């Protein structure tokens, strides 16, 4: 491995830790939700509000729009280096939360920071990666997403006897990582592709933000929002509420619910490494996505048709985690970088990410009430979401494997 190659992987890890932070925030909130409900006597409405304005949803969407625009204007490094300080402040509010309002405010701040970091990090990863290894680098970032959820889940499992105190410790570890990441990222380089595009913009060349809402870029954003948005309605429900549903609907202990979720995370990591990182750069991407989509629908049908118990929940989670490694989440990160030119890449990613997360936030408000009223109705709705995502991807997914960002941009420019 050359020095340049080592630098690329190091930068991918440091940028990709945005995924670790994002997943850790979501899953920490998920494992804490039932405990918070008991600690503060939260109603279904209050639980829905926390979910709707959490790092999983609305605040992350708003942060993505702001961060994406600033990232294209001032550079990737400027944004991803300092937003973690903002994140750490929000996390400390959660660590020391003594009232429900502190939970909501803390998650809003955390979500804004996470949302701003995602387009900056995803753009940087794609721009620094070799043309024939972009999928591998994006895949590593997705492994960090699963790793964030896994470590938080295992920590929550180990600290479960401590109750709410254990949850506070988990949030404290995320705050510490954010502070360390601020220091480590200060040594990273700026994207050379962004610097070159910025210099060209000064001379009058390039695509502006207003062009995103014209062909061909508008159709690309509609595709990404559709294929990822429907999938994320399922993923957001699963990621934030699955432990909560296991405890309140499936009547399982906190230990069992977290253990089942952890098994699913390890399965997802293996799927990314063995499938997405090996084949996304060389295999028909539309076919690969379609296989994952079919597996997602089949897994969700298990919960829609069978009684909700530990056996059905475990089978569902292992199958759907296997599919998630090379499904919509991984391809959204990859495609959202490839569809757009450098100087509007983060803006486009931020806009798509924002629409998806804000819609999820509205949906999340109703999930606790719906799951407690009729879980199987909720399951069938999630089947429909996954099927819609799969159909959109199977018909309109691109074939970008092995192509450079410049070649893809040139194709868009003449489309």
Residue 199 placed within a domain: no
Range 364-400 burial, b when 16+ CB lie within 10 A, else e? bbebbebbeeebeebbebbbebbbbbbbbbbeebbeb
- Residues 34-57 have a mean pLDDT of 75
Residue 6 placed within a domain: no
Residues 67, 350: contact at Cβ < 8 Å?
A: yes
Residue 140 placed within a domain: yes
Residue 368 placed within a domain: yes
**Number of domains into which the chain is organized:** 1
- How many CA atoms lie less than 13 Å away from 387 in the CB half-sphere? 9
pLDDT at 295 (0 to 100): 97
Q: What is the CATH number of the domain that holds 103?
A: 1.20.1250.20
What are the contacts of 169-172 at 24+ separation with CB within 8 A? Answer: 170/28, 170/31, 170/32, 171/28, 171/32, 171/91, 171/94, 171/95, 172/91, 172/95
pLDDT at 310 (0 to 100): 77
Residue 246 placed within a domain: yes
Residues 145, 125: contact at Cβ < 8 Å?
A: no
Least confident of 8-22, 176-190, 230-244, 301-315: 230-244
Q: What is the DSSP string of 53-87?
A: TSTTTHHHHHHHHHHHHHHHHH-HHHHHHHHHHHH
pLDDT at 274 (0 to 100): 96
Q: Residue 128 belongs to what domain range?
A: 12-188+206-414
Q: What is the pLDDT of residues 367-397, one digit of tens each?
A: 767 766 677 788 899 999 999 999 999 999 9
DSSP label at residue 98: -
Residues 157, 255: contact at Cβ < 8 Å?
A: yes
Residue 172 placed within a domain: yes
Supply the pTM of this predicted model. Answer: 0.87
CA distance 353 to 365: 19
Residue 366 placed within a domain: yes
pLDDT at 252 (0 to 100): 59
Residue 1 placed within a domain: no
Residues 396, 285: contact at Cβ < 8 Å?
A: no
Please check the confidence at residue 315 and state whether its pLDDT lies above 80: yes
Q: Which span out of 254-258, 263-267, 319-323, 361-365 was modeled with the highest average pLDDT? A: 319-323
- Residues 250-275 have a mean pLDDT of 80
CA distance 408 to 340: 8
């Amino acid at each position: 491995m050359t020095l340049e190659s080592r630098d690329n992987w190091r930068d991918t890890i440091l940028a990709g830790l945005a995924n670790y932070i994002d997943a850790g925030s979501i899953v920490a909130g998920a494992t804490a939700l039932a405990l918070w409900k008991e600690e503060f006597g939260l109603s279904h409405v209050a639980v829905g509000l926390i979910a709707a304005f959490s790092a999983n949803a609305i605040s992350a969407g708003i942060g993505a729009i702001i961060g994406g625009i600033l990232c294209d204007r001032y550079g990737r490094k400027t944004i991803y280096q300092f937003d973690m300080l903002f994140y750490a402040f929000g996390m400390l509010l959660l660590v020391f939360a003594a009232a429900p309002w502190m939970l909501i405010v803390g998650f809003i701040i955390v979500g804004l920071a996470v949302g701003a970091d995602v387009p900056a990090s995803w753009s940087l990863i794609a721009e620094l990666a070799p043309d024939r290894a972009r999928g591998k680098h994006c895949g590593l970032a997705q492994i960090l997403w699963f790793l964030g959820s896994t470590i938080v889940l295992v920590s929550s499992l180990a600290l479960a006897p401590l109750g709410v105190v254990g949850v506070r410790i988990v949030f404290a570890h995320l705050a510490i990582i954010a502070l360390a990441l601020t220091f480590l990222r200060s040594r990273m380089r700026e994207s050379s592709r962004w610097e070159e595009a910025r210099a060209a913009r000064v001379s009058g060349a390039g695509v502006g933000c207003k062009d995103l809402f014209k062909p061909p870029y508008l159709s690309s954003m509609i595709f990404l929002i559709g294929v990822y948005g429907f999938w994320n309605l399922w993923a957001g429900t699963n990621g934030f509420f699955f432990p909560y549903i296991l405890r309140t609907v499936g009547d399982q202990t906190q230990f069992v619910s977290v253990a089942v979720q952890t098994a699913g995370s390890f399965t997802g990591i293996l799927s990314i490494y063995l499938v997405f990182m090996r084949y996304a750069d060389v295999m028909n991407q539309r076919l690969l996505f379609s296989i994952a989509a079919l597996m997602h629908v089949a897994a969700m049908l298990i919960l829609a048709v069978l009684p909700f118990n530990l056996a059905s929940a475990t089978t569902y989670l292992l199958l759907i985690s296997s599919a998630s490694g090379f499904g919509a989440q991984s391809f959204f990160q990859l495609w959202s970088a490839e569809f757009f030119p450098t100087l509007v890449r983060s803006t486009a990613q931020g806009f798509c990410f924002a629409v998806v997360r804000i819609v999820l936030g509205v949906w999340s408000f109703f999930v606790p009430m719906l799951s407690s009223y009729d879980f199987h109705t909720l399951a069938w709705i999630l089947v429909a979401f996954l099927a819609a995502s799969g159909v959109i991807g199977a018909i309109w997914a691109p074939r970008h494997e092995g192509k450079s960002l410049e070649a893809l941009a040139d194709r868009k420019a003449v489309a």
